[in-house]
């Protein structure tokens, strides 16, 4: 026992080895503490970044944020329990020696042996000789300087995780420095779990409609225009609450930051709001109201007396509101609105003007009836500005058309003679006039004025025209102008025109015609000139009839060998008919000219009776040729032409037509020869008359000289 105690006293202690191992232990604890702190920082950074991102994007409720916070606390607790607490606890020398042996296997368990054998309570040392123990300790001491703490606990592991933690914390610090407002909100929301709102990424503004309560008419469209003032939302949606349910629709993009949605044909009230990313508007209430409007209208018209139109029967009023009436018509209207009214105004807009010339209040009668009156003065439109008891008005009320029909002046026309004429002072000019008016002609007259040869007016007057019923819408009247009795002389002129007046004092005037007053001799010469024109016209007509006859005879020669007329021959007959009608027209024109000559001679009392009778005979013959003989030839040709396609018409039937054509030609030639002979005689007589007139003038001049 005493020896054992001596051995224990003499057992050497590896001081340098223990000191080196102590340094290793301290380094290991420092590195573990640093790593534990770095891990705790990473947990904090992960919590800060994750909770910020999730809450900023998703706007997490308080419960979700509390879960994030509890997760962070749990992570820190785990780091403290699993890393920090063990790192702060000091290890044994044997643990440190084992750590060195693992890091530096070249010691070959020398250090662990030295530590174990040098311990006071070492059981192994009791059974090992002291010499061996001393040898082990001596060798461990000799190699204590070789213990490398940096190899046992390298700093690179702690450095990498620490660098990551520092980078994460630096990023958070930079973000907080850039947006301290967001950092404060995050601390309040995600750490303090306060109900502080995040700032919005998007800011929207509803441009149309204005206000939070909108009233529109049922059936109208409602346009919603939204402007994005901040941010770029991926979509802008409108949420509408209808009586039948909720609808969510995307708004159409119009420009860089403008969106639009149209609710078409709104028939019921609803509400809506607009959402864009994290911003949303308040609810806007839309009230669909029925516009106040005229539901029925009745019109009664009292027409001006001059029209003669009876007033509208009260039992059958005009139901559509539009008025077409003569100027001066009194219009009485009654109307009924579809809603109870707070106020009503009557407005009249003259044609071509945007502002109302009449704007007056209308009294609202029992049952919401309206009544008023106006006088038709000009064309335009009228409408009603209605306001319902709910304060709703009609933006574009119906306009009722008013067509003011002016009382046009009567229309007057001269039917006979209807042309400028040359007359003598002895003439009695027959005049026939026609009149018409919308509401009736009251009176008519034939106005005249005598114009001297220098163009000045010498005298004027009017001849009343009668023979028609006053108030007739159409009428005719006849009269005569006695040129001499009015004071017109040779060399002057007489202008005349018809005038008609209606009940509205409107006067209508016909075209103005002129009667040129000439001497009887001059008028006789004019008549002779017209007869020469007729003669020349008849000469030309005779030549045309002769050519028609020649063409017909040529057709008879060419078809004489054929048993029947062909379609080609039918074409020749069509051409013959066209020329024959020209003959008829010319004969008719010549007959009318001869009638004019007769009228001129008779009305002016010029010419001998035998001359007038002779011209009358010529005129009768010419009219007979134009009205009977020439049309008969045309009818014969037409009958043959129509039979050719269906019958066998022999060419011999053309002989009868040719005989009629020859007879007509000969009669025209005979009339021309008589006109030429009469013309030569008339010329001689006219010259004799001129000589007699000159002789009388010379005799009168001689007598005047003798008297002086």
**Candidates 3.30.420, 1.20.120, 2.20.28, 2.60.40; correct CATH number of 521-701?**
1.20.120
Give dist(CA 667, CA 551) in Å, integer.
19
Section 429-440 average pLDDT: 89
Is the pLDDT reported for residue 122 higher than 70?
A: no
Q: Which two tokens stand for residue 35?
A: 């790593």
CA–CA separation, 93 and 397 (whole Å):
105
Q: pLDDT band for 685, please (50, 70, 90 cuts).
A: very low
Residue percentage of the chain with pLDDT more than 70 = 90
Encode pLDDT of 564-589 as tens digits: 888 888 888 899 899 999 999 999 99
Tell which CATH architecture fits domain 411-518.
Sandwich (2.60)
pLDDT for 331 equals: 95
Range list for CATH 1.20.120 in the chain: 521-701
pLDDT category at 688 given cuts 50, 70, 90 is very low
- For residue 608, pLDDT beyond 70: yes
Asked if the model's pLDDT at residue 279 lies above 50, the reply is yes
* Rg value, the chain, Cα: 66
Please return the burial class of 520, using the count of CB atoms within 10 Å of its CB with bins 0-12, 13-18 and 19+.
middle
The model carries a pTM of 0.49
Q: Give the sign of the dihedral formed by CA 671, CA 676, CA 677, CA 678.
A: positive
If you average pLDDT over residues 135-151, what whole number do you get?
A: 74
Q: What is the pLDDT of residues 175-225, one digit of tens each?
A: 888 888 888 888 888 888 888 887 888 889 999 998 889 988 888 899 999
Domain with CATH 2.60.40.10 in the chain: 203-289, 295-405, 411-518
User: Does the pLDDT value for residue 632 go beyond 60?
Assistant: yes
What integer is the mean pLDDT of 517-542?
86
pLDDT grade, residue 2 (50/70/90)? very low
Residue 601 has pLDDT above 60, yes or no: yes
Cβ-Cβ contacts under 8 Å for 285 (sequence gap 6 or more) = 212, 213, 214, 269, 271
Mean pLDDT of 16-26: 76
Q: Which of 155, 137, 148 is nearest to 100 (CA)?
A: 148
C-beta of residue 605 within 8 angstroms of C-beta of residue 545 = no
Q: Give me the DSSP letters along 12-76.
A: ---HHHHHHHHHHHHHHHHHHHHHHHHHHHHHHHHHHHHHHHHHHHH---HHHHHHHHHHHHHHH
Burial profile 180-212: b = 16 or more Cβ within 10 angstroms, e = fewer = eeebebbeebbeeeeeeebeeebebebeebeee
30, with CB counted inside 10 A (0-12, 13-18, 19+), is middle
* C-alpha span between 429 and 46 (Å, rounded): 125
The encoded tokens of residue 502 equal 């209606």
Q: Is the pLDDT of residue 240 over 90?
A: yes
C-beta separation of 104 from 145 below 8 A? no
* 401: pLDDT strictly greater than 80: yes
Q: How many other C-beta atoms are found inside a 10 Å radius of the C-beta of residue 463?
A: 17
Helix/strand/coil percentages in the chain, nearest 5:
50, 25, 25
Confidence tier at 4 by pLDDT (50, 70, 90): very low
For the cut 70, the answer to whether the pLDDT of residue 700 exceeds it is: no
Mean pLDDT of 633-642: 89
Supply 126's token pair. Answer: 């009791």
Tokens 């005569």 label which residue?
A: 480
Look at phi and psi of residue 193 and say left if phi exceeds 0, alpha if psi is from -120 to 50, else beta: left
> Cα-flanking dihedrals φ and ψ of residue 420, to 5°?
-70, 140
- What does each C-alpha distance from 431 to 428, 434, 455, 599 come to in angstroms? 9, 10, 24, 13
Q: Read off the pLDDT of each residue in 85-102 and give the average, rounded to a whole number.
A: 72
Average pLDDT, stretch 25-35?
79
Q: What phi and psi, each to the nearest 5 degrees, are found at residue 260?
A: -145, 145
Q: What is the C-alpha end-to-end distance of the chain, expressed in Å? A: 218
Residue 504 has pLDDT above 90, yes or no: no
Beta bridge partners of residue 459, listed in sequence order: 450
Closest CA to 545 of 75, 537, 27, 312: 537
Name residue, tokens 């009669």.
Answer: 667
Contact 289, 390 (CB under 8 A): yes
pLDDT value of residue 124: 56
List of residues 6+ apart from 155 with CB closer than 8 A: 31
The arithmetic mean of pLDDT across residues 428-434, rounded, is 89
Using a 10 angstrom Cβ sphere, with 0-12 exposed, 13-18 middle and 19 or more buried, the burial of residue 10 is exposed
110 or 304, greater pLDDT: 304
**Bridge-partner residues for 348, per DSSP?**
358, 382
**What band does 680 get if pLDDT is binned at 50, 70 and 90?**
low
Q: What superfamily would CATH give domain 203-289?
A: Immunoglobulins (2.60.40.10)
Contacting residues for 269 by C-beta, under 8 A, at least 6 apart: 243, 285, 286, 287, 288
Mean pLDDT value across the chain: 83
**Band of pLDDT at residue 119, cut at 50, 70 and 90:** low
Range 138-145 contact pairs with CB under 8 angstroms and sequence separation of 24 or more: 138/12, 139/110, 139/114, 140/14, 140/17, 140/110, 140/111, 140/113, 140/114, 141/14, 141/15, 141/16, 141/17, 141/114, 143/107, 143/110, 144/14, 144/16, 144/17, 144/19, 144/20, 145/16, 145/20
Is 295-405 in CATH node 3.40.630.40?
Answer: no
CB 276 within 8 A of CB 202: yes
Main-chain dihedrals φ then ψ at residue 160, nearest 5 degrees? -65, -45
């Amino acid at each position: 026992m005493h020896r054992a105690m001596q051995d224990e006293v003499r057992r050497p202690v590896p001081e340098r080895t223990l000191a080196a191992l102590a340094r290793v232990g301290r380094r290991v604890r420092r590195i573990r503490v640093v790593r534990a702190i770095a891990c705790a920082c990473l947990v904090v950074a992960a919590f800060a970044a994750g909770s910020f991102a999730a809450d900023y994007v998703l706007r997490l409720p308080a419960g979700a944020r509390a879960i994030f916070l509890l997760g962070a606390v749990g992570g820190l607790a785990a780091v403290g329990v699993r890393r920090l607490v063990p790192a702060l606890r000091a290890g044994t020398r044997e643990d440190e020696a084992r750590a060195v042996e693992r890091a530096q296997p070249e010691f070959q368990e020398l250090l662990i042996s030295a530590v174990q054998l040098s311990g006071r309570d070492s059981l192994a040392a009791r059974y090992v000789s002291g010499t061996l123990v001393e040898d082990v300790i001596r060798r461990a001491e000799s190699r204590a300087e070789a213990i490398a703490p940096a190899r046992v606990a390298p700093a690179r592991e702690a450095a990498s995780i620490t660098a990551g933690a520092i980078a994460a914390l630096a990023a958070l610090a930079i973000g907080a420095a850039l947006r301290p407002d967001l950092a404060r909100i995050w601390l309040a929301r995600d750490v303090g779990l306060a109900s502080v709102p995040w700032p919005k990424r998007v800011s929207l503004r509803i441009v149309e409609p204005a206000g939070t309560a909108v009233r529109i008419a049922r059936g109208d469209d409602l346009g919603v225009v939204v402007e994005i003032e901040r941010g770029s939302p991926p979509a802008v949606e409108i949420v509408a609450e209808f009586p039948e349910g909720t609808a969510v629709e995307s708004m159409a993009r119009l420009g860089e930051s403008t969106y639009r949605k149209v609710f078409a044909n709104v028939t019921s009230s609803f509400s809506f709001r607009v959402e864009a990313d994290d911003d949303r508007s308040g609810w806007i209430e839309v009230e669909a109201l029925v516009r106040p409007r005229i539901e029925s209208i009745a019109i009664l018209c009292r027409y001006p007396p001059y029209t003669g139109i009876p007033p509208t029967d009260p039992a059958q009023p005009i139901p559509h509101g539009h008025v077409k009436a003569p100027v001066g018509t009194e219009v009485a209207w009654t109307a009924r609105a579809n809603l109870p009214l707070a106020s009503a105004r009557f407005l009249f807009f003259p044609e071509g003007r945007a502002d109302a010339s009449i704007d007056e209040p209308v009294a609202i009668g029992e049952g919401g009836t309206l009544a008023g009156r106006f006088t038709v003065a000009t064309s335009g439109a009228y409408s009603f500005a209605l306001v319902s008891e709910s304060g709703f008005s009609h933006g574009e009320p119906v306009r009722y058309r008013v067509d003011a029909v002016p009382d046009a002046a009567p229309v007057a026309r001269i039917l006979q003679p209807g042309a400028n004429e040359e007359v003598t002072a002895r003439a009695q000019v027959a005049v026939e006039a026609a009149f018409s008016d919308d509401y009736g002609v009251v009176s008519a007259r034939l106005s005249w004025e005598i114009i001297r040869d220098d163009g000045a007016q010498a005298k004027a007057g009017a001849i009343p025209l009668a023979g028609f019923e006053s108030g007739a819408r159409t009428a005719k009247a006849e009269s005569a102008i006695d040129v001499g009795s009015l004071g017109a002389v040779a060399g002057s002129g007489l202008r005349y025109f018809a005038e008609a007046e209606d009940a509205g004092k409107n006067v209508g005037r016909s075209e103005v015609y002129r009667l040129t007053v000439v001497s009887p001799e001059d008028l006789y010469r004019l008549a002779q000139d017209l007869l020469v024109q007729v003669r020349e016209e008849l000469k030309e007509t005779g030549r045309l009839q002769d050519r028609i006859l020649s063409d017909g005879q040529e057709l008879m020669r060419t078809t004489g060998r054929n048993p029947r007329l062909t379609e080609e021959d039918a074409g020749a007959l069509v051409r013959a008919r066209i020329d024959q009608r020209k003959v008829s027209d010319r004969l008719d024109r010549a007959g009318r000219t001869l009638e004019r000559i007769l009228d001129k001679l008779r009305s002016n009392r010029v010419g001998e009776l035998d001359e007038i009778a002779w011209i009358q005979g010529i005129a009768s013959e010419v009219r007979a040729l134009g009205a009977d003989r020439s049309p008969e030839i045309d009818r014969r040709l037409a009958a043959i032409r129509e039979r050719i396609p269906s019958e066998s018409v022999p060419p011999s039937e053309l002989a009868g037509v040719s005989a009629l054509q020859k007879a007509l030609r000969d009669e025209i030639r005979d009339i021309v020869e008589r006109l030429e002979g009469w013309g030569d005689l008339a010329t001689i007589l006219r010259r004799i008359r001129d000589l007699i007139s000159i002789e009388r003038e010379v005799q009168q001049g001689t007598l005047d000289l003798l008297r002086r």
